[in-house]
Amino acid sequence: MKKAIFTLCAIAIGLVGKAQIPVYQDETKPIEERVKDALSRMTMEEKVNMCHGQSKFSSPGCPRLGIPELWMSDGPHGVREEIQWSSWSNAGWTNDSCTAFPALTCLAATWNPAMASLYGKAIGEEARFREKDILLGPGVNIYRTPLNGRNFEYMGEDPYLASTLVVPYVQELQKNGVAACVKHYALNNQERQRWNIDVIVSERAMYEIYLPAFRAAVQEGGAWSIMGAYNKILGTHACHNDLTLNKILKDEWGFDGVVVSDWGGTHNTLESALNGLDIEMGTDNRPDKRRTRVFQAKDCYLGDDFLNLVRQGEVSEEVLNDKAARILRLIFRTAMNTQKPYGNMDYAAHSKVARTVGGEGIVLLQNNAPKKGEKALLPIDPTRYGKILVVGDNATRRLCMGGGSSELKVQHETSVLDAMKEKYGSKISYTLGYQAGRTMYGSVEEVQQSIVDSLRNTAVAMAKEADLIVFVGGLNKNRNQDCEDGDRLTYDLPFGQNELLDAMLAVNPRVVTVLVSGNAVRIPYPDRMPAILQSWYIGSEIGPTVVDVLCGDVNPSGKLPFSFPARLEDCAAHSFGDIAYPGDGVKVEYKEDILVGYRWHDTKKIPARYPFGHGLSYTTFAYGKPSISGKTIAADGTLSLTLDVTNSGSREGKEVVQLYIGDDKATVLRPVKELKGFQKISLAPGETRQVTFTITPDMLKYWSEDAHDWVAEAGKFTAYIGSSSTDIRGKVTFSFE
């Protein structure tokens, strides 16, 4: 009896207690109901208050109602260290070191969505553990020119590849209750004059090339937030652009999340209010800047001025409510989500992820014999070499530092030199060879010519005595290299590396070149450099990952996510004079239109040094003849294309089988072919696997500006199966009716 009374009381208390929980806090209620409830309780001031930052990396929530702040952090490939409340200086914490994952060009080079899932999960766990609500990444701006200082943060030149990889990243990240903030929306394809340059681009190029990866992140990945870019698009800043934010993102794609401005990317109150911006970040209009501790509403565009416009009826309250609703929805999905996991800072597990992704992303560009009669240099056969000389600044440099907002304070970063010593012990000697300057703003000009000469001479003398040279060069994260807020000044390797390579190769042809960069560079001596690895910014595990591939423990399987032009002028964006890049100071015109990257090289018959999709392996793959399930595809039908792929070499390896489709005769300009599918398969020596692709009518379409829609023209199409965009192993034709 006593027990029954107790139970009844408990239920009653429970019911009363439950009744006291406001709807917006009740996670059993649908999110839209909670949003509506919270909105009904908030004042106009409180709603406006949520629409701008309160510190460098947070926005305030609604303290009176217990609605928490939103905490944000860079960035695409690791969780950035804590930054001070109102300045860019670091906060000096000692518990904010992260795992640096490979930069996104490397993820793209894996051509493996499973790698993107692993990556998103691991970075999400770190972001969650650090109590972040929004991770400022991933970045999916299309690679238009190899000079862009931020290409390393993006996923290459092809919209299909970038779309395929961004989706699992976003999905896995967000399972941690941390929002992705996909950036930089949109057309942020150069850092030079990024604050104001006006991108003049056709609607077709936007829809076919520059927007698909953002659309995929939103519609398929379900991204909860997106970051506006710094540049203008067709006359208006991207952070408050009616076309890209209201019409395309929110109306056409049905985005229900939050548009966050890039830091300092907001310029106008009325435009921000009306054109789709939801949270303004990084505006620093404080009259006394760093002296005031707090950011105040009077100093923001979406602050007091916005409130006044709403009060005066110049901007309707509905507009404000829409922004507040989006922000509340985001807070419920993240900061107020009590069901989210705890995350973790399991450096060992995450380093393993970094090494696995890195190992799949490294691209073997070439692998030849240094001399007639000798074997290819890679993988390194230690029995052949007594003395291995490691040369180059990037063999020891802290490459997680620099680059701008994606700079990371890492728990560890193991250099290539340390990993080589670990692997090959006393066989290893090292010399710098060239010097890049240690600071973000260092440049070769600061290194005296006498030092350049003496470093080179020492390296050449040591190269003469060595059996094998592993040169670790490329770019770095200094300004005007792979770094934000500026572009590269030249396509060439910097810091005298061309001269150094020339001199070393002259005395010893056994040189393996490891290029660390997020961009293509001019390969100075393609015929004399026997082995070249494109190794990206791999992060914490750069050393062991590179050595895994050099020694053959990992068989390279990365494929280029962008073309490597032989000369800068072979690149589309550099083929129309300054107006197409860098622009005339006011605008930049995308005159190459849809012919970006391999679409240009193919269509204009200008071969790239290394084409899009290229990457060698230590084994070989034989492709069987592709067969297709029919001759014609109907508007509501599909075709299936099948082929066998065999590992014809003697090592286990992975191959990326690529499907391109071209419209053979069209009434509008179409690229020769476009990537429409790929599969990465793993094969033991001698093993054969059947690969099947489903061809759909959507794969045949182009964006028609007249119809303002995707259109496929009737006629003949060709499906190309390749190991790269130019190494085509089979073709089949079919018709669309």
C-beta neighbour count of 124 within 10 angstroms: 27
Structure tokens at 355: 């090494």
Min separation Cβ 561 and ligand BGC, Å: 20
Percent helix, strand and coil across the chain, each rounded to 5?
35, 20, 45
Contact map string, positions 559 to 598, toward ligand BGC, x by CB under 6 A: ----------------------------------------
Given candidates 46, 69, 74, 487, which one binds ligand BGC under the rule CB under 6 A?
A: 74
Min separation Cβ 90 and ligand BGC, Å: 12
Which residue sits closest to ligand BGC, CB atoms considered?
A: 405
* Residue (262 or 663) nearer to ligand BGC, CB: 262
* Residue (230 or 736) nearer to ligand BGC, CB: 230
Given candidates 130, 183, 350, 397, which one binds ligand BGC under the rule CB under 6 A?
A: 183
Strand pairing category for 627-628 and 639-647: antiparallel
Does position 395 bind ligand BGC by CB under 6 A?
no
What letter would DSSP give residue 733?
A: E
Min separation Cβ 667 and ligand BGC, Å: 40
**Number of residues located near ligand BGC, criterion CB under 6 A:** 7
Given candidates 190, 405, 508, 557, which one binds ligand BGC under the rule CB under 6 A?
A: 405
Distance, CA of 191 to CA of 204 (rounded, Å): 23
Residue of 295, 327, 259 lying closest to 65 (CA atoms): 327
Distance, CA of 104 to CA of 357 (rounded, Å): 10
- Tell which phi-psi region holds residue 583, choosing left (phi > 0), alpha (psi between -120 and 50) or beta: left
* Residue (262 or 393) nearer to ligand BGC, CB: 262
Which residue has 């001399």 as its token pair?
A: 371
Does position 263 bind ligand BGC by CB under 6 A?
yes
418 carries an active-site annotation: no
Given candidates 262, 280, 305, 570, which one binds ligand BGC under the rule CB under 6 A?
A: 262
Residue 711 burial by Cβ neighbours in a 10 Å radius (0-12, 13-18, 19+): middle
Min separation Cβ 490 and ligand BGC, Å: 23
C-beta neighbour count of 343 within 10 angstroms: 19
Given candidates 136, 200, 273, 566, which one binds ligand BGC under the rule CB under 6 A?
A: 136
Contact in structure between 568 and 491 (CB atoms under 8 Å): yes
* Residue (140 or 672) nearer to ligand BGC, CB: 140
Helix (H, G, I), strand (E, B) or coil at 147: coil
Distance, CA of 24 to CA of 328 (rounded, Å): 9
* Residue (136 or 483) nearer to ligand BGC, CB: 136
Helix (H, G, I), strand (E, B) or coil at 564: strand
Tell me, what amino acid is at 59? S
Residues 6+ apart with CB under 8 A from 4: none
Structure tokens at 92: 């000096």
Distance, CA of 111 to CA of 546 (rounded, Å): 18
Min separation Cβ 181 and ligand BGC, Å: 8
Q: Is the dihedral of CA 76, 79, 84, 90 positive or negative?
A: negative
Helix (H) or strand (E) holding 433: none
Helix (H, G, I), strand (E, B) or coil at 181: strand
Residue of 368, 399, 394 lying closest to 512 (CA atoms): 368
* Residue (59 or 513) nearer to ligand BGC, CB: 59
Does position 193 bind ligand BGC by CB under 6 A?
no
Min separation Cβ 148 and ligand BGC, Å: 13
* Residue (57 or 702) nearer to ligand BGC, CB: 57
Distance of CA 10 to the CA centre of its chain: 53
Min separation Cβ 281 and ligand BGC, Å: 7
* Residue (263 or 598) nearer to ligand BGC, CB: 263
Which residue has 């290459």 as its token pair?
A: 156
Question: Which residue among 74, 133, 198, 262 is the active-site one?
Answer: 262
Min separation Cβ 85 and ligand BGC, Å: 14
Min separation Cβ 330 and ligand BGC, Å: 16
Structure tokens at 662: 């071209």
Contact in structure between 384 and 424 (CB atoms under 8 Å): no
Min separation Cβ 268 and ligand BGC, Å: 19
Residue of 508, 524, 541, 550 lying closest to 364 (CA atoms): 550
Distance, CA of 311 to CA of 243 (rounded, Å): 26
| Whole-number Cα distances in Å, 438 to 445, 495, 624 | 13, 12, 51
* Residue (261 or 351) nearer to ligand BGC, CB: 261
* Residue (280 or 655) nearer to ligand BGC, CB: 280
SS3 track for 451-508: HHHHHHHHHHHHHHHCCEEEEEEECCCCCCCCCCCCCCCCCCCCCCHHHHHHHHHHHC
Min separation Cβ 244 and ligand BGC, Å: 17
Contact in structure between 568 and 523 (CB atoms under 8 Å): no
Query: Which positions from 201 through 240 interact with ligand BGC, judged by CB under 6 A?
Result: none
Distance, CA of 676 to CA of 377 (rounded, Å): 34
Distance, CA of 403 to CA of 281 (rounded, Å): 20
Residue of 137, 211, 200 lying closest to 172 (CA atoms): 137
Min separation Cβ 168 and ligand BGC, Å: 21
Distance, CA of 290 to CA of 370 (rounded, Å): 58
Min separation Cβ 509 and ligand BGC, Å: 42
Distance, CA of 153 to CA of 450 (rounded, Å): 35
| Residues assigned a catalytic role | 262
Report the interface residues with ligand BGC, using CB under 6 A: 74-75, 136, 183, 262-263, 405
